[in-house]
Amino acid sequence: MDGIIILDKPKGITSFQAARIVSRAFGREKTGHAGTLDPMATGVLPVMVGRATKLLQFLPETGKEYEAEALFGIRTDTADADGAVLENGGKIPSEEEFRKALLEMTGTYLQTPPMYSAVKKGGVPLYELARKGQTVERTPREVSIFDSELISFSENRAVFRISCSAGTYVRAFAEDVAARCGTVCYLTALRRISACGFGIETAVTETELKSAAEAGRASELLISPGKLFRDLPEVTLSGDLQRLFLNGFDFPVSRTGRGFLRGTRVRVDGSGDMIGLADVTDGGMLHKLWQNQTVN
């Protein structure tokens, strides 16, 4: 079985463990997830199943959307509720201060990844170094905050929504916003509500997935890989051209009746659905990257 499950990741497990849940539902089928969520985070986790796992390296860069709750005046070593308290008794900002700081963060800025993150230093994930009590210098990375909104504010807590580029750490973002208010904070809740073009309304819970698997209906929850690449330009192949493509032969893209600049990535369709991905080479040839159909 090949396709995508949009899992509503439960709290308290890693993204790898969440992908294993999907694997078991599909009879130990190979799986891989897109966009890691922290154990304390919940929400949209796209999990590729079967042949679709090879698409992970080709996923288009799309923004993500989160809802988070921040608690002010306290800082933890993980910047979330799972960490040890490092600082307590900090200032509690006003609602207007936080709202203003939140809006000021819209745009592109350099964000320093948290020590408790999967970013590697010398080939070692930062979280492994952090667990050993080590703190190392981290290279700030450019991230983009497309939009943000304060949802609610009460006493020492704020709930906000953020739309951001891939690679943005919401924990670090919350700390950066708090710093603008002259204080510290940590996240008490984090929920991803959109990723890879899929919203939380398309996600299935662990319970729903397990129930479908027990009833032999898990395959009905699979989403076609083509939905991931619906915004790419497309070519439709049939007959000899489709056979050439599936057998791994390059051929002039002009034979499809379409013209593309070199370096263009296209989705390849056949019989009404995506059968593969391809790049247009310097010589104007269609070069297969991935296929979702066996060779006849």
Catalytic residue ranges: 38
Q: Are 69 and 11 in contact (CB under 8 A)?
A: no
Give CA–CA dist 154/74, Å, rounded: 16
Burial class of 72 by CB neighbour count within 10 A (0 to 12, 13 to 18, 19+):
buried
Kindly provide the b/e burial profile for residues 107-140, where b requires at least 16 CB atoms within 10 angstroms of the residue's own CB.
eebebbbbbbbebebeeeebeebbeeeeeeeeee
At 294, the amino acid letter reads: T
At 25, the amino acid letter reads: A
Instruction: Give me the DSSP letters along 205-232.
Output: -HHHHHHHHHTT-GGGGPBPGGGGGTTS
How far from each other are the two terminal CA atoms of the chain, in whole angstroms? 18
Instruction: Give me the DSSP letters along 8-51.
Output: EEPTTS-HHHHHHHHHHHTTS--EEESS---TT-EEEEEEEEGG
Measured in whole angstroms, the distance separating CA 64 from the mean position of its chain's CA atoms is: 7
Q: Are 162 and 145 in contact (CB under 8 A)?
A: yes
Q: Are 50 and 30 in contact (CB under 8 A)?
A: yes
Q: Compute and round to an integer the Cα radius of gyration of the chain.
A: 22
